[in-house]
Amino acid sequence: MIGEVAGIYLKIILEFLLELYVFYVLAMFRFRRSHLFALKLAGGLVFMAALGFGASFVYYYFGDTSFGRIAIYLVLFAASTGHACLCFAEDKKTVLFGCSVAYAAQNLAYKLFLIFFCAGEQLRLFDSWGQNFSILYRIIYYIFLIAAGAAIYFLVIRRIMLRLGDSAIALRMLAISVVVLLVTVILCSVEDVHFAALSSGRENRFESFDIYALRQAGNVFSVVCCIIVLLLIAKTLVERHLRREVDYLQYAIRQGEKQYEISKDTIDMINIKCHDIKYKVNSLVNRGGDMPTELIDDLNKSISIYDTRVETGNKILDVILTEKSLYCEQNGITFSCMADGQKLSFISDGDLYCLFGNIIDNALEAVNKVPEKERRVINIVVKEKNGTLVVQEENYFEGELDFVDGLPQTTKGDTAYHGFGTRSIRMIVSKYGGVFTARAQDGVFYLNIIFCPNKDNSLQNK
């Protein structure tokens, strides 16, 4: 008798572990695998099956009590978490976080099914199943579980784990994951124990509507708790991601200020040296030096490439455009710029360098991939129009551009560490009350920025 009942409990435990491991896979399949992953996975599964066998007897003696049920599921969760830590080469906190998210998702799917099933029992929808009840129940259960699991994965788990990336888990998120564990285990265990005793005929079938309503209230409360905690985790990850992104963009702006000083000094030094060389060449020619005319003309032409300075009325913009024009000259790119730099005086030096540096660098990256020489062109215009300041940039590009939230997505493989250029452009434009738009049409990328500097006096302050 004990063995027969324990066999039923073993089936329940193994079914729970199977569902839990399915959600483990959904939550952690992107994690880095440890050495001998396959062996550790297989050995761990054998151990978990043996543990489940032992737990079935504990279930027989103590499973009818809340504390016994809670202890059983906590032990199973702890053992499966340890198994996951062996299988993945991630930080232990990260693995625990992933396991907790998976456990909450599994409980959410199970509670959603209970809401559906209890309603069906109350309405007597399953009375006609007769002797086929067990089979039909399993079919409906797994169909529902698969559908709910897929929905939870795409709506919640996938977004959480993509945001997680390879960064360390903060203590705040780890604390939230512990809350997930406690809430799901305690609620599920207490409800199952007490309402099983109140069932009539079949589990979750109640003669009293009050008991049915109380059971459904508990199920709904569990679902709401799981959803709130998962959404809180997702929100925490999004906030952390945004903080890191802002920190990076602010760092880029600070680096832009340093780079401006370096570029300015370099360009000034080049111009001084070019003037010295041109003076010495002219002196040599005037003294009747024996140099072929073609060689002198070629030398002067080479020097004139570097002995140039773009003048827009803004020293920051002058340095950027001079630096980029030299690069374009050396790489066969036509660089055209008509800019009234004085109109940009309301933008701080670091922001201005970062803004135009990113605009031009993105354009250079695009046109460098264009094979036709006549299409290796970048056009920039900065002008005042109807009381607004307009910045326009156009360049050719190869392939297709995808836009998300109005921003072109990086064409580099590693999206985690690229694509900050356009986001920093939008952040700086927004900081000064401007509007940023971008579009692509017929192989041409169009970038447009509109500022209204006269409408906000604060913009005049650097």
Quickly list DSSP for 120-172.
Answer: HHHTTTTGGGGGGHHHHHHHHHHHHHHHHHHHHIIIIIHHHHHHHTTSPPPHH
Alpha helices by DSSP H, listed for 307-348, are 315-330
Tens of pLDDT along 330-342? 788 999 888 888 8
Q: Is pLDDT at 265 greater than 70 in this prediction?
A: no
Q: Running DSSP on this structure, what letter comes out for residue 33?
A: B
Rounded to two decimals, the pTM is: 0.61
Average pLDDT over residues 318-335: 83
pLDDT reading at 17 higher than 90: yes
| Residues contacting residue 101 through CB under 8 Å, at least 6 positions apart | 27, 157, 160, 161, 177, 180, 230, 233
pLDDT tens-digit map of 118-141: 999 999 889 888 888 889 998 999
- Give the C-alpha separation, 213 to 429, whole Å: 55
For residue 191, name the pLDDT band (cuts at 50, 70, 90).
confident
Per-residue pLDDT tens over the stretch 68-98: 888 898 899 999 999 999 999 988 888 888 8
> What's the pLDDT score for residue 418?
41
| Residue 298 banded pLDDT, cuts 50, 70, 90 | low
Instruction: Please give the distance of CA 339 from its chain centroid, rounded to a whole number.
Output: 36
- CA 265 to chain CA centroid, Å, is 38
219-257: burial string, b at 16+ Cβ within 10 Å, e else: beebbebbeebbeebbebbeebbeeeeeeebeebbeebb
Q: How far apart are the first and last CA of the chain?
A: 84
Domain ranges of the chain: 2-246, 310-460
Does domain 310-460 fall under CATH 3.30.565.10? My reply is: yes
Q: Tell me which residue of 400, 402, 408 sits closest to 437, measured CA to CA.
A: 408
* Chain centroid offset of residue 75 CA: 33
Which helix (H) or strand (E) segment holds residue 361: the answer is helix 349-367
